[in-house]
Each structure stands twice: as C-alpha cells, then as structure tokens.
Amino acid sequence: MCLKDKIEKSKLPKHVAIIMDGNGRWAKIRGNKRIFGHKNGVKAVRDVVKGAGELGIKYLTLYAFSTENWNRPKIEVNALMSLFITAVKNETKNLIENNVKLSAIGELNTLPSNVQLNLNEIISETKNNSGLNLILAISYSSKQEITEMVRKIAEQVKSNTIKTENISPELISENMQTAGIPNPELLIRTGGEYRISNFLLWQISYSELYFTETLWPDFNKKLFFEAIYNYQQRERRFGKITEQLDNDAEEKS
Ligand code: IPE
Ligand code: IPE
Ligand code: MG
C-alpha cells in the first residue's frame, strides 16, 4: 500500500500551513547563487499544491516572504519579486485547471506595484474556483497582523460599535487577515530550523508542528503525504486525557 492510501480521508487536516525554508542552502550546496534555490523552490510548490488537491485538503497557506525578508541584500529581494511575477504568470493556467482558488495575506501594499498587479490578476481569475484554497503569505508578519487587528478593534470600541466586554477570541479571529479560514491543524517547516519566524502566531496556538531537515526545493508531495500521515498518528488532546477522548468518540458514534 502506498503512503497516500494509508492516509485516512476522514481525519484530514482542513488547513495545512508551511514555512518553506532552505532554498539558499540548497543552492549553496550546489555551488549556485541563492536565487537558483528559490527558482527550484517553485517546483516544490507546484508538487505540494497538486498533492494537497489530490488529498482534498481545503486550505494550504505557504509562507513565501516575511516582512523581515525585506532586510536581505537588495539583489536577492529584487530577484524574489521578479520570481513571484513569473511564477504567478506561469502557474495561472495550472491553478485554474486544478480548480485552485488563490488568495494572499501580508502587507501586500508594500510589494512593488507590478507584483501587486499580477497577484490581483490571478486572485481575480481564480476567485470562482471551488477546490483547494491556496493562501500565499507575502510580506507577512504575524506581529503586524495582530497589531492591525488591535487597531481595528480599538476603532470599533471608539465608535461604540462594540463594547470592551464583547472582545473575545472569536472577535479577534474575525479581525485577522485570516478571518473565515479555519486555524491550521498542521504546521510544517522545512530546512531544519526549529522556529516560527513570525508566522501565524495566533492561528497556530494548537497546531501540530512538523519539522523536517529536507530543504524546500527537495520537498515534494510524497514528503507532504508523509507529514500528513505523521500528523494522523498523533493524539490531539486539547487539554483533556486520553480516556476522555475515547468517551467523546463513543458519544459521537
Ligand atoms: C526560504 O529559503 C525562502 C525565503 C525566505 C524567501 P531561504 O532563502 O531562507 O533559504 P535558507 O534558509 O537561507 O537556506
Ligand atoms: C522564514 O524563513 C520566512 C519564509 C520561509 C518566507 P527565513 O529563512 O526568513 O527565517 P529565519 O530568518 O531563518 O528565521
Ligand atoms: Mg531561511
């Protein structure tokens, strides 16, 4: 039985988030420039998106560029911006064929206007697709997203739209860029670093974490299936004890 068949369809995560790390090191090992790694990373994106669609996963969020990444050498930042444009252009047909709906989170207005233009175009071209929701985090910072949420709620309190006692975790979620999107049950980070790097801090409060040494350009749908399979072997207790989970399952059935 192949790995994909071992995955239980009834226990699929609705939302998987991925920190795609390791492109630079992948290129360096091969004696190439960092951008060569980023270019090869696009192939891994294509394969993983395909795999997520095959399984029937509803949401896939990919961390493509953090606000901190603006501090990289200008030559790399520029090359990444050009790559976003070509990748978006080249993948549009593929995404439409695969019924993928694309959206983006992050401080999108800080992106060069031609990147924004291309991104908006593909978002609008795929808006009626009903398969996988692919969410790109570009120029994204979780702390910035949380700051904006606080601002929005503060404004609503100021204008008497809401009362302070009505501020709840649900209201907070509704005022994040990820409003309406379920929290990721699984967060994958490639590239062997064991950190979150300012990604979805609020949304991953109870996510299962999966770290792999594999550098992002070497990641593929088979390794993605492996992560999903690994996730399915875990017991998610949410503060309870195992015996209670058995009872909960019995009560449900
Ligand atoms: C991740 O790979 C891609 C981006 C952050 C844009 P890196 O570029 O961080 O690769 P390493 O970590 O230097 O190998
Ligand atoms: C995190 O990777 C951001 C993305 C994958 C887009 P980095 O390589 O920028 O993270 P740090 O700097 O190692 O924390
Ligand atoms: Mg890195």
- 156 within some domain: no
- 98 within some domain: yes
**Structural contact between residues 20 and 227, judged by C-beta atoms closer than 8 angstroms:** no
What is the rounded average pLDDT of the residues 141-150?
98
pLDDT, tens digit, 9 for 90 and up, residues 57-113: 999 999 999 999 999 999 999 999 999 999 999 999 999 999 999 999 999 999 999
**Pocket-testing residue among 19, 21, 204, ligand 2, by greatest number of atoms within 8 A of Cβ:** 21
145: CB partners within 8 A, 6+ apart: 105, 176, 177, 178, 202
Half-sphere exposure of 154 (CA within 13 A, CB side): 6
CATH number for the domain spanning 88: value is 3.40.1180.10
Query: Which stretches of 141-248 are assigned E, i.e. beta strand?
Result: 186-189, 208-211
CA distances (Å), origin 159, targets 43, 168, 169: 48, 18, 20
- 76 within some domain: yes
Structural domains in the chain (count): 1
Amino acid identity, position 119: L
The catalytic residue positions are: 21, 69
Q: Which ligand is nearest to the CA of 36?
A: 1
Question: Which pairing describes strands 15-19 and 133-140: parallel, antiparallel, or unpaired?
Answer: unpaired
Roughly what angle, to the nearest 10 degrees, separates helices 113-125 and 74-97? 10
**Pocket-testing residue among 18, 21, 198, ligand 1, by greatest number of atoms within 8 A of Cβ:** 21
Q: Is the CB of 193 under 6 A from ligand 2?
A: yes
- 2 within some domain: no
Q: Tell me the pTM.
A: 0.97
**Residue 95 belongs to what domain range?**
10-141+185-232
- 179 within some domain: no
* Residue 244: per-residue pLDDT: 95
Cα–Cα nearest to 63, from 223, 227, 195: 195
Q: Is the CB of 22 under 6 A from ligand 1?
A: yes
* Residue 247: per-residue pLDDT: 84
CA distances (Å), origin 25, targets 10, 38, 83: 37, 10, 18
Strands of 186-189's sheet in order across = 101-105, 133-140, 59-66, 15-19, 186-189, 208-211
pLDDT, tens digit, 9 for 90 and up, residues 25-34: 999 999 999 9
* Residue 246: per-residue pLDDT: 82
pLDDT, tens digit, 9 for 90 and up, residues 165-186: 999 999 999 999 999 999 999 9
- 64 within some domain: yes
- 4 within some domain: no
- 35 within some domain: yes
Helix, strand, or coil (residue 129): coil
Distance 205 CA to ligand 3 centre (A): 22
* Residue 251: per-residue pLDDT: 80
